């Protein structure tokens, strides 16, 4: 497995991580726990060392899963988790509000350490920027947790560049996690140049466009009633049908490269910068193997330019979040 360093942090991880959210949350009924532990162990055997979770996934059950699965491998893996939401016990622990108050960050960190069965969190992200708490205060709290040996590295998720700069001035950021793929290229405008300037790593989530870039989803695909894609504008039947133009392009490249559309999409992402580490998620062993196979797909400079030119002509239809969630990004 190829290794990469996240920014200037010296945090070394596998060139592909494993996003674990979908094992417990977001994409329908949670998968069987024992089967997911087997899948995580298979990922380890294939060289993946970087695992992404959050207290909000479930809530809590995803961290518990990761903690149980990775307990025998302490010191050999990097675990990233997140704080920043407040659960509403009266509403089945649904995440009803943002909460990055210092005391809450500490509560979450302590609880995550127990669920993950670890002594220190390798990478702790603020899940979403909380405008009610100055980012300098958030960074200062995580800095204290680092000095206490409870956290090793600090990151932000879906933060705007001004917030990133303010946080980085207080405590150097190791990584930013945001969506990035051929399905969502907005980070190229401001985020990537800022991260390169500051020496911060980038961890793209949904690098396969929430499954769309696998080429296995079209306007007739039916999702489980609890699958959050039912509420995403980009996944209405009309938007999916329109966006198949991108899949046509991926299929064309995949034939030429003797690869799959998903492998092309991941290989393209890995080729953008040496400090980018995508975290595709899956609950299936054959998809895990397919994703890792993307690291064997290489592009020439001319091929990358051709992909860039061809994909830039495709106008993706539909917002990537419903309106109430859209307000929480790029703050």
Percent of the chain as helix, strand, coil, to the nearest 5: 45, 15, 35
Structure token digits, residue 168: 């980085």
Say which DSSP state 325 is in. Answer: H
Say which DSSP state 27 is in. Answer: B
Q: Give me the residues paired with residue 153 across strands.
A: 123
The answer to whether the beta carbons of residues 98 and 105 sit under 8 Å apart is no
Write the burial class of residue 118 (CB in 10 Å: 0-12 exposed, 13-18 middle, 19+ buried): buried
Q: How many CB atoms lie within 10 A of CB 180?
A: 24
- Identify whether 180 is a catalytic site residue: no
Determine which one of 57, 125, 180, 321 is catalytic. 57
Q: What dihedral angle (degrees, nearest 10) is formed by the CA atoms of 69, 284, 15, 138?
A: -60
> What's the rounded Cα separation, in Å, for the pair 143 and 100?
14
Pairing of strands 175-179, 151-157: parallel
List the catalytic residues: 57
């Amino acid at each position: 497995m190829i290794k990469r360093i996240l920014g200037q942090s010296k945090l070394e991880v596998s060139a592909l991580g494993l996003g674990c959210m979908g094992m417990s949350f977001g994409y329908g009924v949670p998968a069987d726990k024992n089967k997911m532990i087997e899948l995580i162990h298979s990922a380890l055997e294939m060289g993946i060392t970087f695992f992404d979770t959050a207290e909000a996934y479930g809530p809590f059950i995803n961290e518990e899963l990761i903690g149980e699965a990775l307990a025998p491998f302490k010191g050999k893996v990097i675990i990233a988790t997140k704080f920043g939401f407040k659960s509403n016990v009266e509403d089945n622990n649904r995440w009803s509000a943002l909460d990055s108050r210092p005391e809450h960050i500490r509560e979450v960190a302590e609880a995550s350490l127990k669920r993950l069965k670890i002594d220190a969190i390798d990478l702790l992200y603020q899940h979403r920027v909380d405008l009610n708490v100055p980012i300098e205060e958030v960074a200062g709290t995580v800095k204290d947790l680092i000095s206490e040996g409870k956290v090793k590295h600090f990151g932000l998720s879906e933060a705007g560049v001004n917030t990133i700069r303010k946080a980085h001035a207080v405590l150097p950021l190791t990584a930013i996690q945001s969506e990035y793929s051929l399905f969502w290229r907005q980070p190229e405008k401001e985020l990537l140049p800022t991260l390169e300037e500051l020496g911060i790593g980038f961890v793209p989530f949904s690098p396969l466009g929430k499954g769309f870039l696998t080429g296995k989803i079209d306007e007739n695909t039916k999702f489980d009633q609890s699958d959050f894609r039912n509420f995403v504008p980009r996944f209405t039947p009309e938007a999916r049908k329109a966006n198949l133009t991108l899949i046509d392009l991926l299929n064309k490249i995949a034939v030429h490269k003797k690869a799959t559309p998903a492998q092309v999409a991941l290989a393209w992402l890995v080729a953008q910068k040496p400090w980018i580490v995508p975290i595709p998620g899956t609950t299936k062993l054959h998809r895990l193997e397919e994703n890792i196979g993307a690291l064997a797909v290489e592009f020439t400079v001319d091929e990358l330019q051709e992909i860039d030119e061809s994909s830039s002509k495709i106008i993706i239809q539909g917002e990537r979040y419903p309106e109430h969630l859209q307000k929480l990004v790029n703050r």
